[in-house]
Amino acid sequence: MKCYYCALEGKDSEAVAICIVCGMGLCMEHAIRKDVDVWEGGYPLPSKRVKAPLPRILCPACYNSLYGK
């Protein structure tokens, strides 16, 4: 699989990750790692944060959509 963003730029880079949201193939240059807090608990409440965050890989477009940066 090739990196989608590199292909748009006319480059040929292998994908090393896949965006967890949209499934786009990403190279190391375009992959964004985001540690996401995980919450557990029953309905309706209380919920508590799990001790360790869960690492996720996002493409730039999904990262900007979710986190507005």
- pLDDT of the residue at 37: 83
Could you give the C-alpha distances from 46 to 36, 41, 53, in angstroms and in order?
19, 6, 19
Tell me what pLDDT residue 69 has. Answer: 65
What is the rounded distance in angstroms from the CA atom of residue 31 to the CA atom of residue 43?
A: 35
Average pLDDT per run of 10 along the chain, which is 69 residues long? 96 96 97 89 79 92 89
C-alpha closest to that of 22 among 68, 64, 69: 64
**What's residue 20's pLDDT?**
94
